[in-house]
Amino acid sequence: MGEFPGLHGKIYRALVIGSGGHQVVVRRLLRRIAAAA
* pLDDT tens for each residue of the chain, 37 residues long: 556 568 777 877 777 777 666 677 788 888 998 999 8
**pTM metric for this prediction:** 0.40
Number of domains present in the structure of the chain: 1
State residue 21's pLDDT score: 62
Look at residue 18 and tell me if it is in a domain: yes
State residue 31's pLDDT score: 93
Identify the domain containing residue 18 by its residue range.
7-36
H-only helix segments in the chain: 6-17, 21-36
State residue 3's pLDDT score: 60
Look at residue 1 and tell me if it is in a domain: no
Q: How far apart are CA 30 and CA 8, in angstroms?
A: 21
State residue 12's pLDDT score: 75
In the DSSP assignment, the letter for residue 18 is S
Look at residue 2 and tell me if it is in a domain: no
Look at residue 28 and tell me if it is in a domain: yes
Greatest alpha-carbon pair distance for the chain in Å reads 33
